[in-house]
Structures are given as C-alpha cells and as structure tokens.
Amino acid sequence: MTSDRWAEINRVLDAALGLAEAGQLVFLREACKGDGELRSEVESLLAWHNPAQQFLSQPAFELIAEELAGERPSMLGQQYGPYHILSVLGVGGMGEVYKARDTRLNRTVAIKVLPKHLSERTDLRRRLEREARAIASLDHPHICALYDIGQERGVSFLVLQYLEGETLSQRLKYGVLPTEHVMRYAIEITEALTQAHRKGVVHRDLKPSNIILTETGAKLIDFGLAKRQVMPPFSGGITVGHMAAKTESITEEGMLLGTLEYMAPEQLEGSEVDPRTDLFALGVVVYEMATGQRAFQAQSKAGLIAAILTAHPPPITTFQPQMPPELEQVVQKCLKKSPQERWQKASDLALELKRIARTVPVEENFLDPRVDRLRRRSDSRPDRPALPRIPDRKVSRLGTPTPEVRTVRPHKPQARSV
C-alpha cells in the first residue's frame, strides 16, 4: 500500500473520529463511496475506539473512581464462591482484575472478572471461556497458572495465580534493562511461548504489559486473545503447516485483535496467524527491552500500520552499543515481514538466545530482579551508599517468600544455566 493511500486512510479516519458514533457510519458511506477497501480499512481502525474497547483499556484508578462515583456497583469486599475480593489490580485484555483471598486454601489469588453487564455478551463470555481452556492446557514456570473458573450472580470469572512484581511496561518507564536482564527475560518468554505453541496455543497479544517480572523470573499472562490450534488426531508432532491448517476462532475474518504496536504484518492484513506471529511480537518486545524505544513508531494509527508493514527499525546497537551484535541478528530475524523468513519455532529461538547469553559478562546476583529495582533507586539518589549483596530467599509452592534467609554462593559461569 502506497504512502498516498495511507495518507488518505488517515485523513478519513481523523475526520470520522471527530464525529459521534452514530454519525460515523453516515460519514463513511459518503466519504468512501465506491471505495470498499478504503471503508474497510477505516472501519477496522475505528473498531479500536468503540465503547467496549475503551472500557477494556481503562486503568485501575479510573475503575476505582467510577465505583466511588456510583457509576458501577463496587465489587470490593464482595464474596464470589470462596473468593473474597480485596482490591483492584487493574485491567487485563478483557474485564477487571482483582486481588482476592481464597478462603478455602488461605492464599492470595488474582481474579479476572467479566462483569454482569459484559457477561450478557455471548462473544465476551466465549472469549473468557477460551482463555480458560488455553491456560488450563499449559503448565510452565513462566506462564501464569489458572486455578479455577466460575460464574456467580451474573459475573463470570477466572481465578489465576497472584504474581508479585511489576509489568515489563512499568519497568521500561525507568529506561533500558541491563544486558543480562534482557537476555534472561527474552529466554524465559521464549520458553513460555515454546510450551504454548507445542500445546497448539498462539498468544496473539504478546506485549510488555502482558509480561510480569517477579522474583522468580518473567511470567506471561493474559491469554484473552489466544487462538487454539486444532491438531489432526493422527499428528505425531506440531509443524507450522499443521498449526495453520485449522483453528478455533470466535472473531470475524479480517477483524483486528491485539495491540497495534506489537502486531505482525499478517495480523494487520487480516491473514491467518500461527506461532511465527508471536515471534514477531517477541522481537518487538526484545527490541524495546534492549533500546528503550518502540521498534515501530508513527504519529497516527495509519502511519504506525504503514511502518509495521514496510519499515525496518534502526539497529539495536544504534541506541545501546554494548548489546551483543548477535542479539541484533536474532531480533531482525524475528521482525521479518514474511513469516517464512522469521524463526520458524520458538524452541530454535530459545536455543540461540541461550547461546548468546553464555557470551554476556555476568555480575553476581544478576538473576535477581530486586537488584535491578534497588539499582534504579540508588541511581536516583547519588548520595546513597553502594548496593548491598541481596541474599536469596526460599519461595514456597504458593510463591510466598518464607522468612528463612541463606547466603548467596557466587555463581560459577561455566555451571550457570540460563
């Protein structure tokens, strides 16, 4: 698509956004008369601005403000089955996310809720159920675990592992990550994708806000847009050809789903997605971890789509010369426009990342995210003393640190596993 065409799409989109929703259809009918392709492109972009999408992207503080103002009944303090709602955590890909207490097992959990006024929508209920099926099929240390699913008083919900930490998007606000952390998280996310793809699950919405950095490493969350690949019963293994053959999907053909900045070209074009779609998004995420910059940037949505489809981001070493040159090659292969030219399997990508990681100089305790958080605080306070060594803490099966403290033994580089 030419730059003139994108300029035309952008002009019509900007004009439509200035109108009420009821007037947008009338405007598009006139503005795109005789040009069905133009209308289809603009309508796809307008879908990002409908009320449902705006609700689903609200930050937690806005939800709390609405509850206090009485615009929606508060769920705080309520009980759903054995789960007592404690506080608002934020918003996932769909609905609200709360911190809750499991009164049966006496543990903290996260509850992803589809409120009553959204539970009436069949498509959203099916999305929540599909997310549950996707997560239930996965068992991996770097994927958030599913504990339960339920429905009560018109509210549908998932009960998930409660993770203490910060999202990668929150961490990136402080700037680029140390090289060793970039490598560690890239490997952990890739291994999580390897497990998902082997089980026939394509995430489709990999982005920094769907990655939580905890004391035990990165955790991939929010499979609300995941696409389950239906495998032939006779298949002895998973290949890209098999996975693209037949899929479960509740979305209309050509509908844009995901987060624009991290979408692969085939998603933007409404084509079939497969595991290589996730590997494109992974390349965008690793690029951002390593440089602190988005791989694709523009002043408008239409411009951003054009950049993803046609542009190539500057080399990582342009921003961070200390990054391994091999990482640049890995990321550039992830960002190939054609899926056939990308990494074909997450497992192969994980092996290459581990090979590169073995060449990265390692400082003691680099695997502990607490060191990174303390370093950021120390950097903002030059008068503070040097950072102390941070001892490891044992972690219980439920993920809660126990009081016992032990001394950290120096890592031997030749024995280190990443």
Residue 139 bears catalytic tag? no
User: At 67, is the pLDDT very low, low, confident or very high (cuts 50, 70, 90)?
Assistant: very low
Catalytic position from the list 35, 139, 148, 205: 205
How far is Cα 259 from Cα 265, in angstroms, rounded to an integer?
A: 12
User: At 324, is the pLDDT very low, low, confident or very high (cuts 50, 70, 90)?
Assistant: very high
More confident residue, 256 or 54: 256
pLDDT of 250 strictly over 50? no
Say which CATH class 166-357 falls into. Answer: mainly alpha
Domain segments of the chain as ranges? 3-49, 59-161, 166-357
pLDDT of 383 strictly over 60? no
pTM over 0.85: no
Indicate the angle between helix axes 275-291 and 179-198, nearest 10 degrees.
170
Note the pLDDT of residue 335: 97
Q: What is the pLDDT of residues 3-55, one digit of tens each?
A: 667 677 777 877 777 666 656 666 777 788 778 777 777 776 665 444 333 33
How far is Cα 266 from Cα 309, in angstroms, rounded to an integer?
A: 9
What is the mean pLDDT of the segment spanning 216-227? 81
How far is Cα 400 from Cα 304, in angstroms, rounded to an integer?
A: 42
Q: Which amino acid is at 27?
A: F
Residues 125, 126, 130, CA angle at the centre, nearest 5°?
120
Q: Residue 294 corresponds to which tokens in the numbers above?
A: 């988005």
CATH superfamily of 59-161: Phosphorylase Kinase; domain 1 (3.30.200.20)
More confident residue, 28 or 215: 215
83-92, 188-197, 237-246: the lowest-pLDDT one: 237-246
How far is Cα 95 from Cα 114, in angstroms, rounded to an integer?
A: 5
Strands 155-161 and 211-214: unpaired
Q: Residue 372 corresponds to which tokens in the numbers above?
A: 């990174």
Cβ within 8 Å of residue 227, ≥6 positions away: 201, 202, 204, 247, 248, 249, 273
Place of tokens 């033994």: 409
How far is Cα 197 from Cα 84, in angstroms, rounded to an integer?
A: 34
